[in-house]
Amino acid sequence: MWLIAAFFITALLYASVGFGGGSTYNALLALYGVDYRILPLIALSCNIVVVAGSTVRFARAGVTPWREALKLTAFAAPAAILGGLTPIGEGTFLTILGVSLVVTAITMAFPIASSDGEPRRWACSVLFMAAPLGYLAGLVGIGGGIFLAPLLHLTRWQNAKAIAATASLFILVNSSFGLAGQILKGGEGRFLAAVDYGLPLIVAVAIAGQIGSLLALKFLPQQWIRWGTALLTAWVGLRLLFAM
């Protein structure tokens, strides 16, 4: 029961800042003792459920920069499915996951820089970062948007709403392709095991994702939510690393 509650809180916090929460889902499952081979299947499925609604809302609002966003996802998606297909040992998996969580917490703790003004010269390099982020997404079951968004702000790639919309789409596409790779790698048996174990968790994050979006829009200051999410992410990541 505590795991369902933890997934609910994680999805609520991450959805309120426009992300999916895949890395934290993975870490919570690892701390709970779940077979690491099905962790990405559950985490990526939860990611898809949480960010799908955000992606649709951004699209309906007309803030998604489709041409630029699709370029990034086109670079990332093949790498995501390749990451999902890549065999990985438990120790390596947990180390990469723990480090990813700590880096995620750091990126969330700092305020978002203004994206106003002309794009910087090296903004085009973001395209080349999309592929490794996609690979990481498929390999350990994260969306990659949590790393992409700060990079887009740093390069003044677009305005804040367009960046949030792009990160949401990036997570959705990477998670979908990464999940496909994981299913192909693990086969039907591992997929069914993930569904059997993860279905209550997916329902929990689906509900929490909607509540998180509402909180962000109407009630809580965005920076407070980011700090709370960063603290949760750092705690889980450090606990995972020290538990190894």
How far is the CA of 230 from the CAs of 6, 15, 81, 129, in angstroms?
Answer: 15, 13, 28, 23
Mean pLDDT of 182-204: 89
Within its chain, how far is the Cα of 197 from the centroid? 20
pLDDT bucket at 91, cuts 50 / 70 / 90: confident
Q: How far is the CA of 162 from the CAs of 51, 52, 56, 69, 212, in angstroms?
A: 15, 16, 13, 9, 19
Q: What are the pLDDT digits (tens) for 152-164? A: 877 778 777 788 8
Question: pTM for this one?
Answer: 0.83
